[in-house]
Amino acid sequence: MVKYIFKRLIQLIPVLIGVSIAVFLMIYLIPGNAAEIIAGPTATKEEIQNITVKLGLDKPAYIQYLKYMSGVLKGDLGYSFQTGQAVSKAIAVRYVNTLSLAIFSALISIILGVTTGIIAAAKRNSWFDRLCMGISTFGISAPSFWIGLLLIVVFGVKLKLLPISGFNGKIWTADGFIHLLMPAITLGFGSSAMISRMTRSSLLEIIHQDYIQTARAKGVKEKIVILKHALKNALIPIITIVGINFGGLLGGAVVVESVFAINGIGRLMVQAISARDFPMIQGSVLMVAFTFVIINLIVDILYAAIDPRIQYN
């Protein structure tokens, strides 16, 4: 197992380097050059030249990359073109908010998805099964911003039950929890739809196997047959989909943060794109991609730990 984890860590290095190169290259791919963007439209040639030298943009690309990466490794992601603030500082505050949102919505999607999936499988072809599958089809097709806006209209505007914005960054407080509830449901809805479908289908596959029939023949209660005997073996595909979706939640957070005005990395990124604030865009894209890659690694290791059939080599 240790060998497997070590091997996966080694495999991670080229991907991380590749991601960092791709993010670094963004500044080269923009039309015009970064110095012109910082200097503004009224700047003289001299001013642009000064900024080019100051930022080291006149140096060869590989030297600039090495400089950028040595900064990244020390936690220095550069300075915002727009505000002059350190990018790492701006991201650090918002990173916690994005991660809180992603983890909270992952929990909601697992609880909602697995529960509805189990009931739908146990009561196959019932009205509940049809309703669940109908809602999950809807959940997969609906844009998250629309679900967010619908929740705002129903629970925020009409029923006045939940606040529509203003997360304080502290999920562990009652106020933080209440403020993050609607965004987390919005983000987790699509994911819970997929988990529900996967739970239902993998349970249905297992339910017809001989050992389940044997358990039933022995007189074991149906509840125990499903929750103890069947669910245990249906867990692997469910965990797979949970793992894949968790990474996706990080990407989805970009939209949900904008809808509920949460100060997360996603919202920061959208604002930075509109302002063409490249160090901020690079820093936030890099952080989200790195987090995504590391989450995928953890999920892979979890599979190997849970399912003995997965070979470590």
Partner 1 sequence: MAESISALKNGEVEIEYKKSSQIKEIWRRLKRNRTAVVGLFIISFIAIIALLAPVISPYNPYEQNLNQRLLGIGARGHILGTDEYGRDLLSRLIYGARLSLIVGFCSVAFGLVFGVLLGLLSGYYKRLDGIIMRIIDILLAFPGVLLALAIVSILGTGIVNVIIAVGIWSIPTIARVVRGTVLYIKEMDYVTAAKALGESDFMILFREILPNCISSIVVYSTMRLATAILSAATLSFLGLGAQPPVAEWGAMASTGRNFIFQAPHLTLLPGFAIILIVYGFNSLGDGLRDALDPNLKNV
Tell which one of 44, 125, 274, 313 touches partner 1 (CB under 8 A). 274
Tell which one of 145, 155, 177, 303 touches partner 1 (CB under 8 A). 145
Tell which one of 6, 138, 211, 312 touches partner 1 (CB under 8 A). 138
Measured torsion, CA atoms of residues 287, 289, 291, 297, in degrees rounded to the nearest 10 = -150
Give the binding range for partner 1 (CB under 8 A) out of 16-24, 81-89, 202-210, 218-226: 16-24
Residues in CB range of 193: below 8 A, 6 or more apart? 113, 135, 136, 137, 138, 139, 140
Give the binding range for partner 1 (CB under 8 A) out of 15-23, 70-78, 90-98, 114-122: 15-23
Residue 109 or 225: which CB sits closer to partner 1? 109
The yes or no reply on residue 276 touching partner 1 (CB under 8 A) is yes
Q: Kindly state the smallest distance separating residue 124's Cβ from partner 1, in Å.
A: 17
Q: Kindly state the smallest distance separating residue 66's Cβ from partner 1, in Å.
A: 19
In this structure, what DSSP letter does residue 117 have? H
Q: Kindly state the smallest distance separating residue 289's Cβ from partner 1, in Å.
A: 5
Strand partners, 89: none
Closest CA to 192 of 263, 249, 133, 109: 109
The yes or no reply on residue 14 touching partner 1 (CB under 8 A) is yes
The yes or no reply on residue 292 touching partner 1 (CB under 8 A) is yes
Alpha helix ranges (H) inside 208-230: 210-217, 222-224
The yes or no reply on residue 165 touching partner 1 (CB under 8 A) is no
Strand partners, 79: 86
Q: Kindly state the smallest distance separating residue 94's Cβ from partner 1, in Å.
A: 15
* Contact track, partner 1, 219-258, x by CB under 8 A: ----------------------------xx-xxx-xx--x
User: How wide is the angle at C-alpha 152 spanned by C-alphas 128 and 164, nearest 5°?
Assistant: 130
Q: Among residue numbers 24 through 63, which ones bind partner 1 (CB under 8 A)?
A: 26, 29-31
The yes or no reply on residue 306 touching partner 1 (CB under 8 A) is no
Residue indicated by tokens 């290095």 = 13
SS3 sequence of 48-59: HHHHHHHHCCCC
In this structure, what DSSP letter does residue 303 have? H
Helix axes 231-259, 265-275, angle to 10 degrees: 40
Burial group, residue 8, by CB count within 10 angstroms (0-12, 13-18, 19+): middle
In this structure, what DSSP letter does residue 166 have? -
In the complex, the residues that contact partner 1 under the rule CB under 8 A are 14-15, 18-19, 22-23, 26, 29-31, 137-138, 140-146, 149-150, 152-153, 157, 247-248, 250-252, 254-255, 258-259, 269-270, 272-274, 276, 278, 281, 285, 288-289, 292-293
